[in-house]
A and B are shown apart, each in its own frame.
Chain A
Amino acid sequence: MTTHVISLVSIGAHPTSGRPRRAEQDARAVELGLQLAGDNLQVLHAGDIAEPTLRAYLGMGLAQLHVLEQPAGADALPVLGDYLQDAGAQVVLTGSQAETGEGSGMLPFLLAEHLGWPLIVGLAQVESIDSGVAHVLQALPRGQRRRLKVRLPFVATVDNAGPKPRQSAYGPAQRGVLQEHDVQVVDDELFTGAVLQPAKPRPKRLKVIKAKSGADRMKAATAKASGGGGQVLKGLGPEAGAEAILKLLIEEGVVR
């Protein structure tokens, strides 16, 4: 039995040129979906069907891509929520945040809340799906992984720890079919009060030295970084020293 997987995709923007491209994390979500479900993967987009960049996803080897048609600036959440409620998916994969627009990363959380499904953040790998229960690996900072057990159906976000997406090929991209669905358009109320502006470079934080005397200022300018005197174990046997080190490592939680 194969699982029914839906990957949600959006239009990305190149980080320096700003040209539209397939979004990096969404492409990873599609790749993970292809590894999970193969040809049964369903890819879903809410937005403009005329956008040529959508074909970059078809070029990853998809036969068709479902598009819930709505103009730019419309709220994708209600249409996606209604569609997914009836789609019968077991796993919904998304990128962790959009590359254009607000990019708050709230969509998967709100979708999970709307559908009442559990949400996995930072899915790196699906180990097994057995009788309605999935064992998955979650990516943590610093290259760590955590194993989680979750009941189907669930929503999962994929970040840069997900599998590297395959290249998009031109031929399949042109042969693939964009399938249109008509939905009711809901406007996003955010842009009534908020303004998008080109990003300003963040001010660099100044190193402020609060010294009372000239000697302190001199010391702050010239002193080496020092921990201010730690514990020094001298004249102990190697066993006692090793015990002390191990105790600190266990306290810090790096040795389990």
Chain B
Amino acid sequence: MSDIIRRDPRAEWIARNRLHPLHAAMQPEQHSWMGPNGIIRKNVHGMGFIGPNGIKRIDRSGAQQGGATKRTAAVQVQLPLHQVPAPAFYINVVPDMVGGRLSSHDRDLLGLARQLAGSDGAVLAVVFGEHKESAFDTAGVDRLLVLDGREFDGYSPEQRVHGLRAVDNQFSPRHWLLPDSRSGGGELGRRFAASLKERPATRVWQIKGSECIGRAGAGREDLARALPRLILAAVECADPVSDTRHEVLPVELSTALARSLPRIEDLGAVAVDPGAIPMAEAEFIFSGGNGVKDWELFHQTAAALGATEGASRVAVDDGFMARDRQVGASGIWVTARVYVAVGISGAIQHLQGIGACDKVVAINLDPGCDMIKRADLSVIGDSGEILRALIAAVQAHRNGAKRDAA
């Protein structure tokens, strides 16, 4: 059924016809009646109907008929589809895909690629390994090339440069765009440029026609130059695509990639003390508030998960956590990818502090609190029991992984 609000002439006719068997059911909801003490009671919420633009209307002329239908007018607007059936040229983009999703830097970069592609060119995104992104179409990707394989797992810059060179040979794009970021794009772009022996434009923040401007040196100077083929763009280099949908047609490499022996071997991530990471840049924060009763258990859980600890203002004021652990408007604005809030109801100051967080998990007793509305996953229940179960589950998971490895 569509969400568009329509009149139902049949229901209106039944409501007018007193002889119809469904007549009583179609009467407008009674909204004032005599209470048991002889006082007139009114139900102000039952009045009126939802108009076509989603706003409640009250018709006092007496013409309103039919039951009050509770239907919302949340119509999903379908953006126009931008198609490039036969691209005249390609603009290749290699997004960072931190955590398997497009970051805001990647979206800016795709917006820039869209500008460079115009109406004839196609934006080709090159993605290494598996991804979890489902919004390539609204981000402005016309063609998607997924380079999958064991050799691209983990840290494999040399293999990725090989992959990009193969893509370069097949598609010979007009421009290559990479994010000039610390999370991989800056390094990969420079390695690729060195292997192609082309001079890239780095830290580019503006492109005008065939000119580009990038930061130079330690940021005190700008370098204006002719637009090269290889561009490493800074954050907010352009506005992300917002008005169109794109096809995201999958393309593939025509040649198999030669595997070379990597000279740099990835031995995996090293456990760092989560307490030593500055809160503002911690990736995974486990935060406690007024609902936490057993702080010893809270610290144990944070240690078991390997998360940086945070706290709401109440927990800090009550002396359970240090002042430098406070998250929120008067504390630290965090940028964590995953934020777990235990017993935090979600004051607006706290929600501002976690505005940049990607995934929020809430553990709370109150199903109606604001944190639950913000959270991607909420568990309603007593925090003590859930934390104990969480420690047990993490230990079981780690033991299971060890047994698999052995």
Residues of A with Cβ closer than 8 Å to B?
Answer: 12-13, 15, 18, 98-106, 109-110, 112-113, 118-122, 135, 137-138, 140-151, 159, 190, 193-200, 202, 205, 210, 212-213, 215, 224-227, 229-239, 241-246, 248-250, 252-256
Contacts and interface: CB of A to CB of B under 8 A. Distances in A.
B224 A215 contact: no
Contact of B216 (A103, A119, A200, A255): A103
A248 B223 contact: no
B372 A232 contact: yes
A199 B219 contact: yes
Contacts of B307: 254
B380 A235 contact: yes
B236 A146 contact: no
A194 to B, nearest CB: 4
Contacts of A195: 223-225
Contacts of A146: 155, 266-270
A113 B194 contact: yes
B26 to A, nearest CB: 29
Interface residues of B, number: 91
A215 B53 CA distance: 9
Contact of A233 (B191, B355, B380): B380
B223 A242 contact: no
Given A106-B194, A146-B155, A246-B397, A224 B199 contact: no
19 contacts: A15-B220, A99-B217, A100-B217, A102-B202, A103-B202, A104-B203, A118-B158, A120-B264, A121-B187, A143-B276, A190-B199, A194-B225, A199-B221, A230-B377, A233-B377, A238-B385, A242-B389, A254-B283, A255-B305
A100 B403 CA distance: 54
B277 A254 contact: no
A12 B283 CA distance: 32
Given A15-B219, A106-B190, A227-B375, A145 B355 contact: no
Nearest to B188: A121
Nearest to A98: B217
A250 B100 CA distance: 13
In the A-B complex, list the 10 residue pairs whose CB atoms are closest, starting with the nearest.
A194-B225, A242-B389, A241-B379, A143-B277, A99-B218, A238-B385, A230-B376, A109-B194, A254-B284, A118-B263
Interface string B214-257: 01111111111110000000001001001000000000000000
Contacts of B99: 252-253
Contacts, number: 247
B53 A244 contact: no
Contact of A225 (B278, B374, B392): B374
A205 B335 CA distance: 19
B54 to A, nearest CB: 7
Interface string B176-207: 00000011001100110111010110110100
B267 A232 contact: no
Given A103-B218, A215-B53, 20 more contacts: A18-B220, A102-B202, A104-B202, A104-B203, A106-B193, A122-B182, A137-B270, A141-B281, A146-B268, A150-B263, A193-B225, A198-B220, A225-B351, A230-B372, A234-B367, A238-B382, A238-B389, A245-B377, A245-B390, A248-B361
B267 A149 contact: yes
Nearest to B391: A242
B393 interface: yes
B370 interface: yes
A112 B194 contact: yes
A190 B187 CA distance: 21
A145 B172 CA distance: 36
A105 B306 CA distance: 34
Nearest to B372: A232
Nearest to A135: B267
A248 B239 CA distance: 31
B333 to A, nearest CB: 12
B222 A200 contact: yes
Nearest to A233: B379
Contacts of A147: 266-270
A130 to B, nearest CB: 14
Interface string B356-384: 00011101000100101111111111100
Nearest to B362: A230
Nearest to A190: B199
Contacts of B385: 238
Contacts of A141: 182-183, 281
Given A112-B194, A198-B221, A238-B382, A248 B359 contact: yes
Contacts of A144: 269-270, 272, 283
B393 A13 contact: no
Nearest to A205: B236
B377 A244 contact: yes
Contacts of B296: none
Interface in B91-135: 99
A236 B379 contact: yes
Contact of B355 (A119, A225, A254): A225
B338 interface: yes
